[in-house]
Structure 1
């Protein structure tokens, strides 16, 4: 940005930084980045300092940090631009390391696909990021005599390595979308939240039929099982509770009372 940059409208800032106007409006609403000026016609205008704050937010978002935490950092007294950049660099390096591990896992899955062999539990663990084979044994002990378990096992038996790769890729993409929506402050019950809840239900539906009522009970298990809570909250702090909330509200929108949901 030039030293003599004039004040910019929300649309101009969105184009300059590469984010949506909707995101900027949301950041304004929650007080994360509020334009300092107004035009004679009442439109909010961003100063150079405002745009620099937007850019700092975008950098912190790349590290996966929650918006509330970003606000705390940006408003921390005495923290200058260089300190922000040093902190962001450290966080980005951690994220790069994590992504490199994911790339390595994908490379191994691709080799398996080329050989035309089935995935073993260790390969599934690498691809799905922390899948413990012991969970399979625990799940079978609990649900092995249910129709859902039999349906799931029948689906798995027909899956090729390519199928496993596709499911893993789609699952990770969905989880990143959930984390981003949580960071963006998407409210449970909104159209976007309901769309994501339906996408999550469809993802579970890969394995067995998932009604809205079953979806509520599955989400209830997420918040009571520390392993699920840890898994989702590592994607985005607070994601487990938020995910349960959007699932509950989506079920409500489809005629299911989450407080009285049953496995049917």
Structure 2
């Protein structure tokens, strides 16, 4: 049975204006609009809305959500599995932060003693835990350029970059069953290339080498495959094709 916009808003806990906005930007169109102008939403619309709100919870911008859910390769179940993994990781980080806060309060009351190291447990400002490996392969200058790019960002810019990072990784994960040579895969891997070049200077050869590292080093593979099993292998091949095409 279809629901009117007010009923959906009350069911979900969002405003009618939000639903109107989603309709206006083409993110969530109602199944039908009556002659009287009432928007009617079906169960399929509600399932799409659930997906949208999961993406929003993870900090994805509306424009990126629209791109992902309107992609021909979008798979609702796979997306939910990725949401689950990312939210579990987010919960783990929050649990660590809460533990650190609780210990800090007890430390301030004199109930326990905290070491300086313990005071900062739960904080993680880095997306790349493999800096030493990168320095060995590409040299200090390349890594320092990346670190400088991140350091020079404001807090808001870093948060935006973090959201872009997750967004592109999820998009690639949803495409990993496609051919790495396909247009949609190459367009997505270009987004990855452009994103990395916001904080560094990746030549085609360096970009290709980075992709090989994704599959040759188990630490990289595990980190990338958190977004979806087989993603590291898919990205490696896609990055190789992209880099070779750039050199033509």
TM-score (structure 2 length as normaliser):
0.53
What is the aligned partner in structure 2 of residue 170 from structure 1?
A: 164
- The Cα shift of 1:211 comes to 1.9
**Count, aligned residues:** 169
Question: Structure 2 vs 1, CA of residues 224 and 95 (structure 1 numbering), >3 Å: closer, same or farther?
Answer: closer
Moved more, 143-152 or 197-206: 143-152
- The Cα shift of 1:234 comes to 1.8
Task: Give the match's secondary structure for 2:192.
Answer: helix
Paired with 1:102 and 1:171, the residues of 2 have a C-alpha distance of: 17
Q: Is the 8 A contact 1:204 1:210 kept in 2?
A: yes
What is the aligned partner in structure 1 of residue 60 from structure 2?
A: none
2:81 to 49, 63, 72: 63
Question: Structure 2 vs 1, CA of residues 95 and 162 (structure 1 numbering), >3 Å: closer, same or farther?
Answer: closer
Paired with 2:213 and 2:81, the residues of 1 have a C-alpha distance of: 28
Matched, 1:161 2:158: no
Task: Give the match's secondary structure for 1:124.
Answer: coil
Paired with 2:76 and 2:227, the residues of 1 have a C-alpha distance of: 17
Paired with 1:224 and 1:174, the residues of 2 have a C-alpha distance of: 22
1:246 to 224, 231, 238: 238
Q: Is the 8 A contact 2:96 2:121 kept in 1?
A: no
| Unmatched tracts of structure 2, length 5 or more | 2-43, 49-68, 99-119
Paired with 1:121 and 1:242, the residues of 2 have a C-alpha distance of: 33
Q: Is the 8 A contact 1:186 1:193 kept in 2?
A: yes
Matched, 1:209 2:206: no
Paired with 2:190 and 2:207, the residues of 1 have a C-alpha distance of: 10
Question: Structure 2 vs 1, CA of residues 203 and 59 (structure 1 numbering), >3 Å: closer, same or farther?
Answer: closer
- The Cα shift of 1:143 comes to 6.0
Paired with 2:221 and 2:178, the residues of 1 have a C-alpha distance of: 20
What is the aligned partner in structure 2 of residue 110 from structure 1?
A: none
1:226 to 190, 194, 218: 218
Task: Give the match's secondary structure for 2:226.
Answer: helix
- The Cα shift of 1:144 comes to 8.3
